[in-house]
């Protein structure tokens, strides 16, 4: 069964450093998302992406964050200057088309900012 894959599974970085989290969505899917889950808190929506542009972003998704689909398969989340509070599990998800509400998630990247 096709699945969303995320790399790396764990990322440790120093505060102020840039990180790039990578995702390969399911190949025929058109919508892509990033969510994050801070330990002990609710899963939060960050951004959705369709047709090579951001569809919607949350208040969390400030200028320090960016997303890109550099080629036909990868979908990346970049954090330019990480803060301690960026430590979280980051999930990538994809959905098939504009009428399908099913999101398929990857296994997440645990980001630790020291």
Partner 1 sequence: AQTVTQSQPEMSVQEAETVTLSCTYDTSESNYYLFWYKQPPSRQMILVIRQEAYKQQNATENRFSVNFQKAAKSFSLKISDSQLGDTAMYFCAFMKHVYAGNNRKLIWGLGTSLAVNP
Instruction: Decide: 30 and 96 in contact? Cβ < 8 Å.
Output: yes
Q: Does 98 bind partner 1 (CB under 8 A)?
A: yes
Give the three-class secondary structure for 53.
Answer: strand
Q: How far is the CB of 39 from partner 1 (least distance, A)?
A: 12
Q: Which of residues 34-93 bind partner 1 (CB under 8 A)?
A: 35, 41-45, 48, 55-56, 89, 91, 93
Instruction: For residue 37, give both structure tokens.
Output: 């889950």
Nearer to partner 1, 82 or 94 (CB): 94
Beta strands per DSSP E along 15-87: 19-24, 31-37, 43-50, 53-57, 65-68, 75-79
Q: How far is the CB of 7 from partner 1 (least distance, A)?
A: 13
DSSP assigned state of 89: E
List residues near partner 1 by CB under 8 A: 31, 33, 35, 41-45, 48, 55-56, 89, 91, 93, 95, 98-108, 110
């Amino acid at each position: 069964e096709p699945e969303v894959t995320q790399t790396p599974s764990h990322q440790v970085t120093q505060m102020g450093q840039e990180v790039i989290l990578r995702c390969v969505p399911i190949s025929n899917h058109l919508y892509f998302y990033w969510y994050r889950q801070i330990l002990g808190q609710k899963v939060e929506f960050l951004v959705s992406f369709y047709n090579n542009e951001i569809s919607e972003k949350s208040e969390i998704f400030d200028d320090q964050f960016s997303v890109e689909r550099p080629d036909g398969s990868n979908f990346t989340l970049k954090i330019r200057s990480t803060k301690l509070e960026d430590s979280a599990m980051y999930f990538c998800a994809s959905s098939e088309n504009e009428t399908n509400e099913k999101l398929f998630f990857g296994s997440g990247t645990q980001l630790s900012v020291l």
